Structure formats: structure tokens, C-alpha cells
Chains A and B, each alone.
Chain A
Amino acid sequence: MSWPSPAEEELLDTISFDEWLIEPSTFMVKVQNDAMQNAGIFTDDIVIFRRGQKPKSGDIVIADIEGEWMMRYYQIEEGRPVLYPANGHYGVITPDELTVIGVIRSVIRRY
């Protein structure tokens, strides 16, 4: 007989990286441009987003604008959604039709 290791017990209160990052409806997508670089999201980063989550103003979202897919800041202005880039080289978009696919939850970059 030996005492259980106290380390074991202390580790019960930790979570794994998986639990920390992956929620039931998270998907990932590879970033392919620098439209959000001032938000700290660069080309080849991996973005984890939550599919089906309703966006609120200020969220970064993955959106479908008439068959074009983009990642932008989501703002409601005068009752309408507006998409802002985080890079001056890209324009602001006020879409007539917009489907939000998901809301960004984390960004991962492996060097």
C-alpha cells in the first residue's frame, strides 16, 4: 500500500488544451490574407470559430456576402450590419445580404 500521489489530485483542477480551445461547435479555418492584421491575425494563422453563434457588435466573424467569404469585424450601425477590416488597404462593407457563419473564439500561430 502506498499513498496516492498528491500531484495527481492537484491536477484534477487543470484543463487540457483541447478543453480550453475546443467547444462543441468549433471549426477551424486557415487565414489567407492580411485583412485583419491590425487585430493581430495574420496570413497562415489558424482561427478557431464557433459555428452558429449569434454575433454581437465588435465580434470578429466569418461571413458570407453573396458567395464571398471573409473574416471581418462585425458592427451594427443604424440597425444594419457593417463589416470592418483591420487593415487600411481593405474597404468597409455594408452588405445588403449577409450570413454569419460563426464568431471567432481564438487564433493560433505555430512558429
Chain B
Amino acid sequence: MLIHIDGDSFFASIEQSVKPYLKGKPVVTGKERNIIAAASIEAKKRGVGRGMTLWDAKKMIPDLVVLPTDYETVSLFSKRMHDIIRRYTPVVEEYGVDEAFADLTGLRRYHHTSYEGIAAAMQKDIHGELGITVTMGIAPTKTLCKIAVDKGKPAGLISISRSRIDEALGGVEVKDIWNVGPATAALLRKYGMRTALEFKQKPEEYMKKLLTKPGMQTWYELNGIQAIPFEEEKVSYKSIGKSKTFTPPSNDKEFVFAQLVKNIENACMKARRYHQGTTNITIYLRTKEFRGVGIEGKVERVTAYPNELIGAVREMFEHIWKVGYYRATGVFLSNLQPLNPMQPTLFENPARLIRYTNLYGAIDELREHYGKHAVHLGASLHAQKTQHLSSRGDMPVRREMLVKGETKRKRLPIPMLQVPLR
């Protein structure tokens, strides 16, 4: 049997956990983007949800508590949640920050309890130690686990045994099945399948004519046959991505390019911190209408220095730029490799390379002293100004509540209770 563990309103619940005076209040995160990233159960009950603009949400809930996203604290909680799950089984797939799949097969005797008993113990540990709730779904396959979790939200524990699959699938619409996209859902409906049960009960040969491999995987999974593999390997820093939305959207080409360059500087900074460099760079632009356009480029050798990338990036940018309004830019550095020692390519002037290294070493040091963007490329100047204006009040509390010895950039990896103690 597999289990799916899903944090309830994860980002918002974590805020309520470290700021317990917010328990029972409508809380949302995403202040820095003006769009709701997560809503607490109380906010959801009053009609506010993910993706809504803050402006709309505040109209619905005047006493709404709006917070910036605290990715650092979320990451600490995420790691702890996965660690707690690992106390019960070694086979865990971290499926995003707030979700996991785990395999409980064969562990009932070891834990002296049923699958439900194991799940309840995990749930209790997570709630007791982290102060957040999770929903659990137990079933023979991942897809069925997902359906169980949907039924159990929030804080529930639902189990679908082999003999009760049909019962569980009756009320589930095909569009709500995990991994079923709008196109597949429309196709299934066209062929008279409205519910997951109707889909599941169609003969295999019939479905094979209709669906491609991923669609058939879902069909097998609904029939209790594991078809989606378990991925235990944790995704490491194989790529680094940085993107930023700006408001209002802009049609100023150089401004948009500046935003892109700033993302490249940020991504390179992060790569250097992990002593990694890249040869593959992907850039993308997102239009006002949320359409995305991207392009991938390759440079001749591993680097983590914006200077060396900017020429290539400008070419790529010219390639995809079309007149219009844009709201976000982003960059991906993929195929990361160790940065040191830097191997100069043939015909290259090694002095140049060393000069770059030193230059950026100095910039990283300056940043420690004067903040992140003390020194940056001229090309991103445009973007620097807006960052400084908009970032005020958008900073998670934890960044300001430093303990002696912490810096704005580095803090202790322990969640901090953010309440005034009397």
C-alpha cells in the first residue's frame, strides 16, 4: 500500500504555526507578488483562494492577514515533514515542498499496527512537532492515493482498499483525476465517461485505442495496478531558476531586458554559492496575457559569471522579443557542473578568465557588506530601482528578526517562533 501526504494550506499554515496568534484567522501569503500563493483554511472558507489578486481578496475579507512568502521557513518545515515520514518508512518520494508519496508495504508488523495506524501516527507527529495539519490518502496506487487525499481535505485520513475502489471513484469527475489534463478529460467525456469509475470500468483494449501511454498509466492506476514509478532520488541542484514578476507590465524592451539580466545575476550568484557553473542557459518572457516564450542557449564552457553569458543572452533575447507588454522574465541554468577549477578553453586568454573570477569574488564580498545588489551589471540598472522600492514590507518577518551573529543573507536553520513573549 502507498500513502500520499499533503500539507493543508501549507504556506499559510506554516505562518500560523510560527505566529500562533494567527491561528483561526484568515491568512494568505503572496504579498510580494500581489497574488495569493496560499490561503489558510479560514480564508478558503470565506471564498478566498490561490491565484486571486490581493485586491479582490481584501474586498471579500476586510480583516484578511496578508504576508509575504517566507520560502526559507517553508523549506525548513518541508524538510522536517519529510524527515518525520522517513521515521516510518525508508521509501519516500518528496513530491514538491508540501507533498510526499511513501510506500508502507510490509511495514505493518514492524509498526504493530494497520496502514491507517501508521498514517495516524505520522499525522500526529507532524501536527505535534510542526503545528500544521496534513491530509493522508492510503491506496494501492499513487493516482488512487491522490483521490483519497482530495476526499480527506483538510486534515483527514482516507484509505481506499482494493475491494472498495469502485465505491471511491463513483463521485469523482474525470477532470479531477491526477494527471488528467483538460484535453484528456474532454476526450473521455466525449466517449461517455463522466466519472473516474466509468473510465476505470472501460475495457483495457478499448482504452488503448483511445489513449496514449500517460493516459493508460492513469487507467491502470485506477484499476489498482501501479504504473507510475516511485522516484526516491531527491532532486538536487541540477538546475537553478530565477524569475520575477513586475507590476505594472511593461512594453519597454530595455526595461524587460534589464529584468532578465537581474535574474541572470541572481541565478549566477546562487550557482557560485554552490560552486556550480553552467553551459546551458534558458531564458523566458511572460506576457501580460500569461503567455510564455522561452529559448535555450549553450555557451562554450562552464561559467557562473553574467559577463560571460550576457552576449549570448542578448542574442537569445532579440530572437524571442516581440512588441507587447510583459509581466515577468525568468532564467534557468541547467546542466550544472562544478565551477572550480575553471578550465580555460583553447585560444582563450586565461588572464581574462582570472580577471572575471576576481571581479565576481569581490562582488560577492561587497554583497555581504552592502546588500545583494551593491554591484551589478549596467544592463540591469533599470531593474534595480524598482526592486528597492517594492521590496519594503514584502520581506518575511524572519529576515528582520535576526539573532546575534545572523546576517540578512544567512540565518540559523531552525524555525523561529515569531511571537512577543510576555
A binds B: yes
Closest to A32 in B: B421
Closest to A22 in B: B414
B416 touches A29 (CB 8 A): yes
A27 touches B128 (CB 8 A): no
Contact partner of B415 (CB less than 8 A), chosen from A27, A46, A68, A69, is A27
Q: Which residues in A have their C-beta under 8 angstroms from that of B21?
A: 67, 69
Given the interface pairs A33-B422, A69-B21, A70-B422, the reply to whether A24 lies near B417 with Cβ below 8 Å is no
Is B408 at the interface (CB under 8 A from chain A)?
A: no
* CA A28 to CA B42, docked complex, whole Å: 27
Is A62 at the interface (CB under 8 A from chain B)?
A: yes
Q: Which residues in B have their C-beta under 8 angstroms from that of A22?
A: 414
* CA A17 to CA B83, docked complex, whole Å: 20
Is B404 at the interface (CB under 8 A from chain A)?
A: yes
- Indicate the size class of the contact surface on chain B: 20 to 34
Residues of A within 8 A of B (CB): 22, 24-33, 35, 44, 46, 48-49, 51-52, 62, 64, 67-71, 101, 110
* CA A79 to CA B128, docked complex, whole Å: 23
B416 touches A24 (CB 8 A): no
Q: How far is the CB of A91 from chain B (nearest CB, A)?
A: 11
| Chain A contact surface mostly | strand
Closest to B415 in A: A27
Closest to A51 in B: B129
* CA A30 to CA B412, docked complex, whole Å: 13
B131 touches A30 (CB 8 A): no
Q: How far is the CB of B53 from chain A (nearest CB, A)?
A: 31
A62 touches B420 (CB 8 A): no
* CA A27 to CA B413, docked complex, whole Å: 10
Q: How far is the CB of B18 from chain A (nearest CB, A)?
A: 8
Number of A-B contacts (CB under 8 A): 68
Residues of B within 8 A of A (CB): 18, 20-21, 80, 83-84, 125, 127-131, 401, 403-405, 412, 414-417, 419-422
A51 touches B131 (CB 8 A): yes
Given the interface pairs A29-B421, A33-B422, A110-B404, the reply to whether A51 lies near B412 with Cβ below 8 Å is no
Q: What are the nearest 5 A-B pairs in CB distance?
A: A52-B128, A25-B129, A29-B417, A110-B404, A69-B419
B128 touches A48 (CB 8 A): no
* CA A28 to CA B403, docked complex, whole Å: 10
Contact partner of A62 (CB less than 8 A), chosen from B83, B415, B421, is B421
In this complex, the member of A25, A48, A71 whose beta carbon has the largest number of chain B beta carbons within 10 angstroms is A25
B414 touches A51 (CB 8 A): no
Given the interface pairs A52-B129, A69-B21, the reply to whether A24 lies near B421 with Cβ below 8 Å is no
Q: How far is the CB of B305 from chain A (nearest CB, A)?
A: 33
B417 touches A48 (CB 8 A): no
A24 touches B129 (CB 8 A): yes
Closest to A26 in B: B414
Q: Which residues in A have their C-beta under 8 angstroms from that of B414?
A: 22, 26-28, 48
Q: Which residues in B have their C-beta under 8 angstroms from that of A52?
A: 125, 127-129, 131
* CA A67 to CA B84, docked complex, whole Å: 29
Given the interface pairs A25-B129, A52-B128, the reply to whether A69 lies near B421 with Cβ below 8 Å is yes
Q: How far is the CB of A102 from chain B (nearest CB, A)?
A: 8
A69 touches B129 (CB 8 A): no
Given the interface pairs A29-B419, A30-B416, A69-B21, the reply to whether A24 lies near B403 with Cβ below 8 Å is no
Q: Which residues in B have their C-beta under 8 angstroms from that of A49?
A: 417
Known: A27-B415, A51-B128. 7 other contacts (CB 8 A): A22-B414, A24-B84, A25-B128, A48-B414, A69-B21, A70-B421, A101-B131
* CA A27 to CA B18, docked complex, whole Å: 9
Given the interface pairs A35-B422, A71-B421, the reply to whether A28 lies near B129 with Cβ below 8 Å is no
A101 touches B20 (CB 8 A): yes
Q: Which residues in B have their C-beta under 8 angstroms from that of A29?
A: 416-417, 419, 421
Q: Which residues in A have their C-beta under 8 angstroms from that of B420?
A: 32, 69
Q: Which residues in A have their C-beta under 8 angstroms from that of B20?
A: 64, 69, 101
Q: How far is the CB of B150 from chain A (nearest CB, A)?
A: 28
Q: Which residues in A have their C-beta under 8 angstroms from that of B83?
A: 24
* CA A51 to CA B404, docked complex, whole Å: 23
Q: Which residues in B have their C-beta under 8 angstroms from that of A62?
A: 417, 421
Q: List 18 A-B contacts (CB under 8 A).
A: A24-B80, A26-B414, A27-B18, A27-B414, A28-B403, A29-B419, A29-B421, A30-B421, A32-B421, A46-B403, A49-B417, A51-B130, A51-B131, A52-B125, A64-B20, A69-B422, A71-B421, A101-B417
* CA A48 to CA B128, docked complex, whole Å: 16
